[in-house]
């Protein structure tokens, strides 16, 4: 199981950054994201606890369920289904106000479900691809939110 963490400071208010990054249909602004949709809204907010979102990224298909939603500071999710198959323990985004904007920390803990070579594939390929994908989404958020405030 590998833990992958990507961080970025986005020069925008915490509420705006949280809203943009928890509304996953925004992710299609990133070049590595093909399609995202909300399959089932959450109990208290569209992307709140219990929400199910479906993503088609260049690295795969993911069906995720929101397990924690505390605006504007944290959201967590688990991947219930994926292609290629993976084992997923945690997905989390945390948001903190800092000088110059909002510090976002995106962490996931997962591994490829491939007998015998899953850990190797995760460490060598998947970790690099997930890091790049998360980085492109955070860059898209940065572009969208800072362009809107200029």
- What the chain holds in terms of domains, given with CATH numbers, is 2-149 (3.30.530.20)
User: Alpha-carbon distance 132 to 90, whole Å?
Assistant: 18
Q: What is the pLDDT of residue 123?
A: 63
pLDDT at 148: 54
pTM confidence score = 0.90
What are the helix (H) ranges across 14-126? 14-22, 118-121
Give the pLDDT confidence of 79-137 residue by residue, as tens digits. Answer: 999 988 888 889 999 999 999 999 999 999 988 777 666 566 666 667 888 889 999 99
35 SS3 class:
strand
- 134-148 pLDDT, tens digit per residue, is 999 999 999 999 985
What is d(CA 68, CA 85) in angstroms, rounded to the nearest whole number? 23
């Amino acid at each position: 199981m590998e833990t992958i963490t990507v961080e970025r400071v986005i020069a925008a208010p915490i509420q705006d950054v949280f809203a943009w990054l928890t509304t996953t249909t925004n992710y299609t602004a990133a070049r590595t994201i093909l399609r995202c949709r909300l399959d089932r809204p959450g109990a208290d907010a569209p992307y709140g606890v219990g929400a199910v979102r479906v993503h088609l990224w260049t690295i795969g298909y993911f069906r995720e369920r929101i397990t924690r939603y505390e605006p504007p500071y944290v959201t967590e999710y688990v991947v219930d289904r994926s292609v290629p198959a993976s084992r997923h323990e945690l997905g989390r985004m945390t948001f903190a106000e800092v000088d110059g904007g909002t510090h976002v920390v995106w962490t996931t803990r997962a591994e490829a479900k491939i007998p015998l070579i899953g850990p190797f594939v995760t460490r060598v390929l998947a970790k690099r691809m997930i890091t790049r994908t998360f980085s492109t989404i955070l860059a898209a958020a940065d572009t969208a939110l800072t362009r809107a405030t200029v």
